[in-house]
Amino acid sequence: MTRFWKSFLVICVLAAGSGFYWWKSQPATKNAGAVPGKAAKADAKGAGKGGGVLTVKAVRAVMKPMPVLVEAVGTVEAEHSVQVRAQVSGVLKSVLFKEGDRVKAGQLLFQIDPRTFQSQYDQALAAMARDQALLENARAQQERLEPLLKREFITRQEYDVAVTSAKSLEATVAADRAIAEQARIQLEYSRITAPIAGRTGTLAVTPGNLVPAAGGGVPLVTINSMDPILVAFSIPERQLKEIRRYQYSQDMRIEILPDRGGSPVAEGKLVFIDNTVTPQTGTVLLKTRVSNTKELIWPGQFVNVRVVLTIEPEAVVVPEVAVQPGQEGSFVYLMDAANKVQVQPVKVSRQIGNEVVIASGVKAGDHIITEIPQALQPGATVRLAGADDKKGSGEKGKGKGQGKGGEKGESKSE
């Protein structure tokens, strides 16, 4: 019986404790229910003052002329590039330019030791002079024998020998003249001149070295023409139709930009369209010739190419930051007359720098939100940044006047 009564007392104590705990918890629950009511009332009061309204930045969509573009990446090419090689073998005597210099067509670049070629030329001239003298003598002999033949003082055979000797010497002199001309050309080849105007590259041979004739070893130097200059670029085959449509239009031009966000440094016309589509890439090669007087672009340089096909006179334009990507396409946040937010799907035509041309979905004058807070939702009420600043500046002026009065009052009390 003692164990039974002990268990009974423990159960009674636990039951009494549970009842007391439940009784104490009733006022706390009521108080907790009262707090949200007050908070909701305070929040409603704060929202009435604008505390729940998001602040955004917005601009108006504008209508203005915008170009219709095809953009690509191109490579700068020299219109003329010549590898200068020696046409005769010899010891390089002098180099008459510096690496990287601009040279003119016909300017002397290298001098190969000319003594061997000069002696060969002199020898050829001497042989030609000797045979020329023999020819003159043979002709004189023929002229002397001709009247004697008419008088039959000599035989026909003697006269024919004189004629044959003169003709043979004429052929010999002609051959001597050709040999002398060849020797003169070899002598001229010892003076290597620039075949085109342009800028020189790296010098491969220095004075004192033996240079081989053309076809052996590396070129002495490479000259690239710099002005005008070509830019080669490829476009997708689907854009070829538009290119050919505006190819002969006066409005069509091609701009070259070293940096995509920078300004064009050169402008030219289309000069070449390849006659085939590259099967591996599905692209077509095009070239433009541009002026490069200041040498702002360099052969081998990668540049951005902007083909301006025509100018669209009335294009709707918004800032790039206003256009948002979505699962169903691009969209923008519009702000209506009641400062409510609307989500508007748009169709983007093209982007030019920091501006986007809208094909449909937005019209000129629409209020487009450019800075989108994370909490922004369709239908929310927003206000423009800067609207409160103007209002606050007026209130600040009032406060400043009161502050001055307060300062005076404080000084008096002191």
Query: CATH classification of 69-79+225-312, choosing from 3.30.70.1060, 2.40.128.20, 3.40.630.10, 2.40.30.170?
Result: 2.40.30.170
Q: What is the pLDDT of residues 48-105, one digit of tens each?
A: 334 467 888 888 889 899 888 888 999 999 999 999 999 999 999 999 999 999 999 9
∠ at Cα 250 (248, 253), nearest 5°?
A: 85
Instruction: Tell me whether residue 307 is exposed, middle or buried, using C-beta atoms within 10 angstroms of its C-beta: 0 to 12, 13 to 18, 19 or more.
Output: buried
* Torsional sign, CA 194, 199, 202, 203: positive
Average pLDDT, the chain: 81
pLDDT tens-digit series, residues 374-408? 778 888 888 887 655 444 444 444 444 444 343 43
Cα separation, 64 vs 74, whole angstroms: 29
Which residue type occupies 298?
A: W
Task: Give the residue among 88, 110, 109 at the shortest CA–CA distance from 184.
Answer: 88
pLDDT, tens only, 140-163: 888 888 888 788 887 888 888 888
User: Which CATH fold would you assign to the domain 114-189?
Assistant: Helix Hairpins (1.10.287)
**CATH number corresponding to 86-112+190-224:** 2.40.50.100
Calculate mean pLDDT across residues 188-201.
94
Residue-range domain boundaries for the chain: 55-66+314-387, 69-79+225-312, 86-112+190-224, 114-189
| Other CB atoms within 10 A of residue 109 CB | 21
287 pLDDT band, cuts 50/70/90, is very high
Select 55-66+314-387's CATH number: 3.40.50.2000, 2.40.420.20, 3.20.20.70, 2.60.40.10: 2.40.420.20
Is pLDDT above 60 for 284?
yes
